[in-house]
């Protein structure tokens, strides 16, 4: 069990508060308690009802085909167009003038508003441009963009023509672009010259240029002009977005695609060094993201203003900036920059300016705001907020209470939503008009979702105990596989417990039967709500010629949930490790993977503790990293190793990120 779990458990006993749904919200909620019974009685019927909320070219014949488990097919025989569902249908039904996006750039007065009619036109033009560039249905397109409207436009333009997008988070380095472009064999990449971060323009295209040296198959790089900074240019390959898109027609007939047509591939860290390409398809995914967004945020599209602070490069941005909210015709805020530029009240100024009613962020951000102090949000009128969401990692009760009190004015309920890149959409969460909230608990699986908490033998644990989280029935937005790796898909998710999806998370059911997520039980770390694999970082470290061996652990960290701590054995010729080499290695990891992977701390050690079978004992390393009493070390080949480690380490700690 991870350290965040321990933190959670001890907090739990300190904190036994419970918040009932506010009366006004309960009286007018989109979803009532009946939904749980309805779904329990007829799960497939329940999801079919939710699919009816979309517009289908041809209705499906069969709700679920699970014959080829674990490969699911949802709404078999149905056809639809995801972009049409997110755009045209709202315009056709008279909602074209509704604001789809209130975009806010980081520089002070940078604003752009797009109504549903305008966004539809932009997407049609981009779809025509992609077609003119030779992109066809089924073709992969890589997107490496900042938080600008063109990110949404590109994704929907791909969806509209049936191209499969893969969005690479703008914080990742060139290598991440290379692996994704190569694995999918993408021929077109969409990027920008740069983006505004912390008050300054920073480059994005240089990473693409570097990546392209290793991607000979890419024929076109489409470049959005965001900052106007100088960029290198390859006339044969590079095209400005405005040249390719602006002159295109706003007419574009959306084709209907099979319900199981691939929509996107999102890469995420697993417990091995190689990121996994999670495949999502169209009908089931759109059904569940739209329904969960509508139900869990109790969305009233005519009056609500929704803001999800996630980056579009993560699954949360896909499901709850692009597909869910737009399928529901919601009005949203989208913000380019950091929460503390120019000042630490930036987010709350935006909430006030647009009257944001529904707000969705990650616990790590809430903890940062807590640290900045109560007086910062007090500068702004936050009374418009009526529901607050949390996602990405367990929310500790202190952060929950602070969020409720200082952002939600002690009235807005908090929905703590558990889900994963793999699940595509929210799976465990309160329903704000129905379910009570407990600080630190995600409460219960949503209607239509079947989960269990199992012990090691696969038996359900009784209330009051913890175990491993599994999902026992297929759900519409579930991943359809890992790109090009059927075996890894079966092995990773379906082999631990026969016929059940193993999420990789620990969970506990309290005495009331409510669920508490306890963090990862595998080698995946959760740093500021971002998934990082220990082995991926170890591989990056040993790719440096000075490193002989490396072991990485996630140590608990007050601000980021977990932090990356690395133990390295240097090669003889590298000397015995001083501050310089530690800095070099931290930068090396940042260059290889991205800044978010830069270890908080690197310890140069003479040996690593291993079991007799040669496995590194990360538990012990974690104890060292967290300065805890060491646990049982009797399976160590040489138990003096730990003394050596503790005695001989050169501690390269840094707080500069």
Tokens of 359: 């707000």
What span, in angstroms and rounded, lies between the C-alpha atoms of 584 and 604? 13
Q: How, if at all, do strands 188-192 and 220-224 pair?
A: parallel
Taking the least distance from each CB to ligand WTA, the nearer of 215 and 426 is: 426
Taking the least distance from each CB to ligand WTA, the nearer of 386 and 531 is: 531
Closest approach of ligand WTA to the CB of residue 208, in Å: 23
Taking the least distance from each CB to ligand WTA, the nearer of 193 and 393 is: 393
Taking the least distance from each CB to ligand WTA, the nearer of 85 and 316 is: 316
DSSP state of 74: E
Closest approach of ligand WTA to the CB of residue 390, in Å: 6
What span, in angstroms and rounded, lies between the C-alpha atoms of 574 and 83? 54
Contacts for 362 with CB less than 8 Å, ≥ 6 apart: 309, 310, 390, 391, 392, 393, 528, 529
Closest approach of ligand WTA to the CB of residue 504, in Å: 6
Closest approach of ligand WTA to the CB of residue 631, in Å: 23
What span, in angstroms and rounded, lies between the C-alpha atoms of 58 and 159? 17
Taking the least distance from each CB to ligand WTA, the nearer of 208 and 479 is: 479
Taking the least distance from each CB to ligand WTA, the nearer of 220 and 429 is: 429
What span, in angstroms and rounded, lies between the C-alpha atoms of 126 and 129? 5
Taking the least distance from each CB to ligand WTA, the nearer of 345 and 393 is: 393
Taking the least distance from each CB to ligand WTA, the nearer of 163 and 503 is: 503
Closest approach of ligand WTA to the CB of residue 530, in Å: 7
Taking the least distance from each CB to ligand WTA, the nearer of 284 and 394 is: 394
CB neighbours (10 Å) of residue 381?
13
What span, in angstroms and rounded, lies between the C-alpha atoms of 106 and 169? 18
Taking the least distance from each CB to ligand WTA, the nearer of 120 and 560 is: 560
The answer to whether 185 and 142 have CB atoms below 8 angstroms apart is no
Query: Applying CB under 6 A, which residues contact ligand WTA?
Result: 268, 314-316, 390-394, 416-421, 442, 503-505, 517, 519-520, 526, 531
What span, in angstroms and rounded, lies between the C-alpha atoms of 549 and 535? 12
What span, in angstroms and rounded, lies between the C-alpha atoms of 343 and 349? 10
| Closest C-alpha to 70, from 353, 479, 566, 542 | 479
Taking the least distance from each CB to ligand WTA, the nearer of 179 and 429 is: 429
Taking the least distance from each CB to ligand WTA, the nearer of 7 and 239 is: 7
The answer to whether 337 and 309 have CB atoms below 8 angstroms apart is no
What span, in angstroms and rounded, lies between the C-alpha atoms of 421 and 320? 12
Closest approach of ligand WTA to the CB of residue 219, in Å: 31
The answer to whether 601 and 566 have CB atoms below 8 angstroms apart is yes
Q: Look at the block and give the residue holding tokens 């061996």.
A: 549
Dihedral of the CA atoms 391, 393, 394, 397 (nearest 10)?
Answer: -70
Helix axes 43-51, 34-41, angle to 10 degrees: 110
* Buried b or exposed e, range 590-603, using 16+ CB within 10 angstroms: bbbbbebbbbbbbb
Contacts for 231 with CB less than 8 Å, ≥ 6 apart: 193, 194, 203, 205, 206, 209, 223
Closest approach of ligand WTA to the CB of residue 359, in Å: 15
Listing DSSP states for 120-187 in one string gives: HHHHHHHHHHHHHTT--TT-EEEEE--SSHHHHHHHHHHHHHT-EEEEPPTTB-HHHHHHHHHHHT--
Closest approach of ligand WTA to the CB of residue 503, in Å: 6
Tokens of 441: 């608990």
Q: How, if at all, do strands 79-80 and 99-104 pair?
A: unpaired
Closest approach of ligand WTA to the CB of residue 516, in Å: 9
Closest approach of ligand WTA to the CB of residue 22, in Å: 21
Q: How, if at all, do strands 524-527 and 530-533 pair?
A: antiparallel
Q: How, if at all, do strands 73-76 and 194-197 pair?
A: unpaired
Tokens of 467: 């175990």
Tokens of 190: 């969409």
What span, in angstroms and rounded, lies between the C-alpha atoms of 179 and 200? 29
Closest approach of ligand WTA to the CB of residue 366, in Å: 12
Closest approach of ligand WTA to the CB of residue 168, in Å: 14
Taking the least distance from each CB to ligand WTA, the nearer of 154 and 316 is: 316
Closest approach of ligand WTA to the CB of residue 128, in Å: 33
* Buried b or exposed e, range 53-68, using 16+ CB within 10 angstroms: ebebeeebeebbbeee
Closest approach of ligand WTA to the CB of residue 505, in Å: 5
Taking the least distance from each CB to ligand WTA, the nearer of 78 and 504 is: 504
Closest approach of ligand WTA to the CB of residue 24, in Å: 26
Taking the least distance from each CB to ligand WTA, the nearer of 227 and 562 is: 562
Tokens of 253: 């007939």
């Amino acid at each position: 069990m991870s350290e965040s779990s321990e933190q959670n458990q001890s907090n739990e006993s300190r904190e036994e508060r419970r918040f009932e749904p506010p009366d006004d919200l309960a009286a007018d909620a989109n979803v009532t308690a009946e939904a749980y019974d309805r779904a329990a009685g007829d799960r497939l019927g329940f999801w079919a009802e939710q699919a009816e909320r979309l517009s289908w070219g041809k209705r499906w014949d069969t709700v679920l085909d699970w014959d080829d488990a674990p490969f699911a097919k949802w709404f078999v025989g149905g056809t639809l167009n995801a972009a049409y569902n997110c755009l045209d249908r709202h315009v056709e039904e008279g909602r074209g003038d509704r604001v789809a996006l209130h975009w806010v750039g980081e520089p002070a007065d940078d604003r752009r508003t797009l109504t549903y009619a305008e966004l539809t036109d932009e997407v049609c033009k981009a779809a025509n441009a992609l077609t003119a560039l030779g992109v066809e249905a089924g073709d992969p397109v890589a997107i490496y963009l900042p938080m600008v409207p063109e990110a949404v436009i590109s994704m929907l333009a791909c969806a509209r023509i049936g191209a499969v997008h893969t969005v690479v988070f703008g914080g990742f380095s060139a290598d991440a672009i290379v692996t994704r472009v190569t694995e999918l064999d993408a021929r077109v990449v969409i990027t920008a010259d740069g983006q505004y971060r912390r008050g300054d323009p920073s480059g994005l295209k240089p990473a693409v240029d570097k990546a392209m040296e290793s991607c000979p198959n890419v024929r076109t790089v489409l470049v959005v002009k965001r900052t106007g900074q100088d960029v290198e240019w390859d006339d044969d390959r590079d095209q400005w977005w405005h040249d390719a898109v602006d002159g295109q027609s706003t007419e574009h007939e959306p084709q209907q695609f099979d319900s199981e047509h691939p929509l996107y591939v999102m890469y995420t860290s697993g417990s091995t060094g190689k990121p996994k390409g999670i495949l999502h398809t169209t009908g089931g995914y759109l059904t569940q993201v739209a329904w969960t967004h509508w139900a869990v945020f109790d969305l009233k599209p005519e009056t609500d203003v929704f803001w999800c602070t996630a980056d579009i490069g993560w699954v949360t941005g896909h499901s709850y900036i692009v597909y869910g909210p737009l399928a529901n015709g919601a009005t949203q805020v989208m913000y380019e920059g950091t929460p503390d530029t120019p000042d630490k009240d930036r987010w709350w100024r935006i909430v006030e300016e647009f009257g944001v009613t529904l707000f969705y962020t990650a616990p790590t951000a809430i903890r940062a705001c807590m640290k900045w102090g109560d007086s910062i949000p007090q500068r702004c009128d936050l009374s418009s907020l009526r529901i607050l969401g949390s996602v990405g990692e367990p929310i500790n009760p202190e952060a929950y209470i602070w969020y409720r009190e200082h952002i939600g004015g002690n009235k807005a309920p908090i929905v703590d939503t558990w889900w994963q890149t793999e699940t595509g959409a929210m799976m465990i969460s309160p329903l704000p008009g129905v379910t009570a909230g407990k600080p630190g608990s995600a409460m219960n699986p949503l209607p239509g979702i079947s989960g269990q908490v199992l012990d090691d033998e696969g038996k359900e644990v009784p209330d009051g105990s913890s175990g491993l989280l599994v999902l026992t029935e297929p759900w519409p937005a579930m991943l359809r596989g890992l790109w090009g790796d059927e075996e890894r898909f079966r092995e990773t998710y379906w082999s631990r417990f026969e016929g059940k999806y193993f999420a990789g998370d620990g969970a506990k059911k309290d005495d009331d039967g409510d669920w508490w997520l306890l963090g990862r039980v595998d080698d995946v770390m959760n740093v500021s709500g971002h998934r990082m694999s220990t082995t991926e970082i170890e591989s990056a470290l040993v790719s440096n010629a000075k490193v002989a061996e490396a072991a990485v652990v996630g140590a608990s960290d007050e601000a980021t949930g977990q932090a990356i701590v690395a133990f390295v054995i240097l090669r003889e010729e590298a000397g015995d490790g001083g501050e310089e080499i530690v800095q070099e290695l931290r930068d090396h990891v940042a260059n290889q993977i991205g800044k978010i992977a830069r270890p908080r701390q690197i310890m140069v050690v003479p040996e690593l503790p291993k079991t007799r079978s040669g496995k590194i004992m990360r538990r012990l390393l974690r104890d060292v990293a967290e300065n805890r009493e060491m646990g049982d070390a009797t399976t160590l080949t040489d138990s003096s190793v730990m003394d050596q480690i503790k005695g001989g380490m050169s501690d390269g700690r840094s707080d500069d990120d």
